[in-house]
Structure 1
Amino acid sequence: MAVLIQVLPVVVAVAIVIRLLLSGRRPKNLPPGPPTLPIIGNLHLMPKRDAHLQFEKWAREYGPVYSLILGTKTLIVLSSDKAVKDLLDKKSNMYSHRQEMYIGQTLCSGNLRILMMGYDARWRMCRKLVHSLLNISAAKSYVPYQMLENKQMLYEMITQPERCMYNIRRYTNSLTTTMVFGWRSTTYDDPKMMQLFEGFSEFAELNQTGLAALVDFFPWMRWLPDFLLPVRAKAKELHRREKALYLGHWLRAKEETKAGTIMRCFSEDLVAIQKTEGFSDDQASYITGTLLEAGSDTTSSTLYAFVQAMLLYPEVQKKAQAIIDEVVGPNRMPTMEDERDLQYIRAIVKESLRWMPTTIMGAVPHAVTQDDWYNGYLIPKDAGVVNNVWAINMDPARHPDPRRFDPDRYKDDLQSLADAAANPDASKRDQFTFGAGRRICPGIHVAERSLFLGVSRMLWAFDITPVLDAQGKPILPDPDRLTQGFVCQPEEFQVKITPRSEARRQMVIEEWLAAEKEWLDPVTKQWRVCPLGPAKKRKE
């Protein structure tokens, strides 16, 4: 017995060493991938920025389905339309889970963020509620909100053209706050709006790189003391600020709903559903906060990419303006009723989503709930599964000369964005920016309308041209310089936005002033009259 007691620690130590040495290796039956090192696997190869370029390079080298070993985690990367269709769409019951994300979900989000929830009953309930706000029939009803916010954006392009990106962000954020909470973001300088964009950017960067990622790849690190794991304190502080913002929005909407003063919006219905479903105010705040994040950031990033494309491809702008002038004419602005006659504008929207995909790496990886086999390779249970959006959108077999902005790729594609995503023929899907399977972005219908109105009306009203340097040469942005994080966009660039004529300038001003007078309170600039009708009567 004494000998056994002496030998046992040695045996345990040897077992731990063997386990560590085996960790980081790629099992033979997994899809191919770059060579690994013991313990860390491929962690040493992960880029600190512009990861999408390396993931695309690996796809060309190792094929449309490859694997990365990241410490104790396995990541399967899908880089073809067929692989995404076969797995994330057709097997969505198995491929809709999430890996555990200690920093992102547990610490940064208090296990409340829908984006990172596992595929369980709570996620399905939240998803069902979100679908009720964003399905196609609901999306059509919000067009009056979109029209007013669009008119203010155009007006601000005249009064403050140097703030192009901020005008666009206010447009998408204000639309989202109206749809979700019933109130408008009247100016970009609203501190709560700025906190939203800055906070989500901090959240994305915190969870994508550095020590935060290592804690997920090596779960034992979460037991380190705080002074060795400073990211823990940063994550908790970010959650404290974010939760305060989201909870404040939700409780305000809840009180206005009870008082009968709220505008028609998602929170109005969520108050009633909360009584039957029994979820907490904290959870309600993150259901609505998730919608606020998604609706504010992704659409604005795509519109900003569109503006950059017009600088770099002026021939596309001229062609689009000629078509708009022929169909719509100079005496009114485009509306949603013009969409079917403006296929080239629809194509510009699709090409903007393909050319500069905001969810460049598919946002957060899916996870598989059981072992699966694909093309002779094992996809093991709990592996993360990446929808490699950039590589698919830039696949020259799908889109020849993929870094060229060419809306004519879609001249015969009459599908809506949602119909294209659901097309059983993977090669007929337009782009992959909205994700796939049961995790596809539920805001796709609203986004398509916001993008069409934004693109068509900016082209109707304005010329988008480069700023000139001291020598009179155009200052053109680099389309490959992107912000980092889950949601990216072009780095901020200079642009000159000028009305195409004095008559169009006057029409933009007059339409905004008329809408402002008809719908908004003259002091607060909040909705005075709801174009969707009065709030529903609630019984306590």
Structure 2
Amino acid sequence: MGQSIVVLNSAQAASDLLDKRSAIYSDRVNAPMVNDRALLDWSDFGGMLPYNDAWRRQRRIMTNWLNPRSVIQFNGLQQDEARLLLGRLLHLSGTPGLFEKVKHQFSFTTGSTMLRLIYGYRPKEDQDSIYVNALQASINLFQSTMINFLVNAFPILARVPDWVPGTGWKRTARKWREQKNEAVNAPYEWTKQQIAKGNFEHSILSSLLQEDESSSELSIADQEKELKQLCYTLFVGEDFVQHLRPECYKYVTYGQNQTGGTDTLATAFLSFVAAMVTNPETQKKAQNEIDSVIGYATRLPTLADSSQLPYIRQLTLEVMRWLPTAPTGGPPHACSQDDIYRGYNIQNGTMVMGNVWAMSRDEVLYKDPERFDPERFADPDVVPPPGFGWGRRKCPGTHFAEASLFLVISSMLTTFALCCKVDKNGKEITPKIEGDYNQLALTIKPFEFEIRPRSEEHRQLILDNIPKD
């Protein structure tokens, strides 16, 4: 296909190019199925924008709202969503088909959290139309980057008349374009209506809509168009393959085997469950730390407790290293000018990927890398895994994501026991944790486990802390 690709297998190489030379390694590779106006017409989606002024404007707004100081205002929202999740998990305890049900609840929790953060919109259940449309559009987007759509390899195909046999993919593109417009417009218009009524929840969009934009260099219409795309980009994730919903994992995307969706978190939560079920001594140590700090079944953890729970942070870092959610580093960067690195000539337009899987298995950085060992991060010289990308394309929501990871993981450890299933003789059946490592986003294959409250007091603690509408 004529596309040059460079894969960076070490943390040093990724830092040298994607961080230190980010001025020329922050572009994106073109996917005509997404960008062509006659097809999906989504060239203004932030995750696909080239490194240009529009991307910089969107990034500036994201950074203003998601930096460590600003994101604190949404901690209560994250806490509520974590506690709502506990209530839903409690109802799943003891039911069959637990893996798929728990995966679904993790996905809904992350989607609901993002809709509230961005639009102030609270989906009541997982069939909510705004939630479903937003999710479907993201799935369509990731499918549109697939090499299966030959137009991504041969852009001239976009000009082939619709009546030519074999162009059904163009009808698919038009259908997806309509779904995209609905997903982008509906929550935006809902928030505008709520503001007009004076009945709205504080969110990024509600605040931006009330700001004075008279100094903007864009027209009112262009401002609104860009703001709609900014909001949907936040929902999906600017570094979108890093932020996958489990529903999206079956798709293969342009340029390599990879997938896409909205959130590293849903995948990381599944990895956390896998780690706890197969490492009960680690789970017990984490629960002992929580009990010693906040008490046994006395209250649920808050973000204010995080500094007193170092083992929980170490455990979270190890989850992200042990089963990295984006093993090949998320959507590829592209080099915007010719460069030379370690004697290699890297041409303008080259696709550049960071091999996070290889970095997480680097024995120089991580001793015995296949073993799940949170205590490795007690050593300040051990570097955290690169779970949120690099350089100017690094996920702007890192601090928000880390807060959600802490709240969900610490809350689940406080209240639940994650256990192996037992056979008819009462013997534990330790599951084999397997993933599809040929995909850019890790897919964990279903495994059996049990989730139950640690005690009757913990069951009541969950029920007493479910947020009321």
Which bracket does the TM-score occupy, shorter chain normalised? 0.7 to 0.9
Q: Deviations over 1:220-271 (max 9, x none)?
A: 4444455334444333322321221221011111222233322111111332
Structure 1 equivalent of residue 148 of structure 2: 211
SS, match of residue 178 in structure 1: helix
Q: 1:127 aligns with which of 29, 53, 59?
A: 59
Once the two structures are TM-superposed, the CA of residue 328 in structure 1 deviates from its matched residue by: 1.9
2:102 corresponds to 1:164 = yes
Structure 1 equivalent of residue 369 of structure 2: 402
2:418 corresponds to 1:464 = yes
Structure 2 equivalent of residue 19 of structure 1: none
Deviates more, 1:430-439 or 1:470-479: 470-479
Structure 2 equivalent of residue 37 of structure 1: none
2:9 corresponds to 1:79 = yes
Structure 1 equivalent of residue 73 of structure 2: 141
2:291 corresponds to 1:325 = yes
Once the two structures are TM-superposed, the CA of residue 179 in structure 1 deviates from its matched residue by: 0.9
Q: 1:108 to 1:310 in 2, by over 3 A?
A: farther
2:37 corresponds to 1:110 = no
2:386 corresponds to 1:448 = no
Q: Distance in 1 between matches of 2:151 and 2:18?
A: 26
Give unpaired runs (5+ residues) of structure 1.
Answer: 1-70, 414-426, 521-540
| Paired residue total | 430
Q: 1:242 to 1:488 in 2, by over 3 A?
A: farther
Once the two structures are TM-superposed, the CA of residue 202 in structure 1 deviates from its matched residue by: 4.5
Q: 1:110 to 1:204 in 2, by over 3 A?
A: closer
Structure 2 equivalent of residue 47 of structure 1: none
**TM-score of the two chains, using structure 2 as the length reference:** 0.85
Q: Distance in 2 between matches of 1:381 and 1:255?
A: 46
SS, match of residue 445 in structure 1: helix
Structure 2 equivalent of residue 264 of structure 1: 202
Structure number with greater CO (CA < 8 Å, separation at least 6) is: 2
Q: Distance in 2 between matches of 1:346 and 1:132?
A: 25
Letter in 1 for 2:388: F
The aligned runs of 1:457-496 (5 Å cut-off) are 457-469=411-423, 474=428, 476-482=430-436, 487-496=441-450
Deviates more, 1:449-458 or 1:291-300: 291-300
Q: Distance in 1 between matches of 2:198 and 2:151?
A: 47
Structure 1 equivalent of residue 31 of structure 2: 101
Once the two structures are TM-superposed, the CA of residue 283 in structure 1 deviates from its matched residue by: 3.3
Deviates more, 1:462-471 or 1:89-98: 462-471
Letter in 2 for 1:380: Q
Q: Does the aligned pair in 1 maintain the 2:433–2:447 contact within 8 Å?
A: no
Q: Deviations over 1:410-469 (max 9, x none)?
A: 1134xxxxxxxxxxxxx8541112110000000100011100111111001010012345
Q: Does the aligned pair in 2 maintain the 1:145–1:175 contact within 8 Å?
A: yes
Once the two structures are TM-superposed, the CA of residue 80 in structure 1 deviates from its matched residue by: 0.8
Structure 1 equivalent of residue 82 of structure 2: 150
Aligned-pair identity (%): 30
Q: 1:292 aligns with which of 204, 219, 235?
A: 235
Q: Distance in 2 between matches of 1:313 and 1:109?
A: 47
Q: Distance in 2 between matches of 1:273 and 1:75?
A: 44
Structure 2 equivalent of residue 365 of structure 1: 332
Q: Distance in 2 between matches of 1:482 and 1:471?
A: 32
Letter in 2 for 1:287: L
Q: 1:494 to 1:225 in 2, by over 3 A?
A: farther
Structure 1 equivalent of residue 183 of structure 2: 245
Once the two structures are TM-superposed, the CA of residue 393 in structure 1 deviates from its matched residue by: 1.8
Q: Distance in 2 between matches of 1:484 and 1:287?
A: 31
The aligned runs of 1:403-418 (5 Å cut-off) are 403-413=370-380
2:442 corresponds to 1:506 = no
**TM-score of the two chains, using structure 1 as the length reference:** 0.74
2:278 corresponds to 1:312 = yes
SS, match of residue 444 in structure 2: coil
Q: 1:269 to 1:345 in 2, by over 3 A?
A: same
Structure 2 equivalent of residue 236 of structure 1: 174
Structure 2 equivalent of residue 190 of structure 1: 128
Structure 1 equivalent of residue 115 of structure 2: 177
SS, match of residue 4 in structure 2: strand
Q: 1:486 to 1:280 in 2, by over 3 A?
A: farther
Q: Does the aligned pair in 2 maintain the 1:305–1:489 contact within 8 Å?
A: no
CA RMSD, 1 decimal: 2.4
Structure 1 equivalent of residue 192 of structure 2: 254
SS, match of residue 479 in structure 1: coil
| Higher helix proportion | 1
Once the two structures are TM-superposed, the CA of residue 124 in structure 1 deviates from its matched residue by: 0.5
Letter in 1 for 2:310: Q
Once the two structures are TM-superposed, the CA of residue 157 in structure 1 deviates from its matched residue by: 1.5
2:392 corresponds to 1:438 = yes
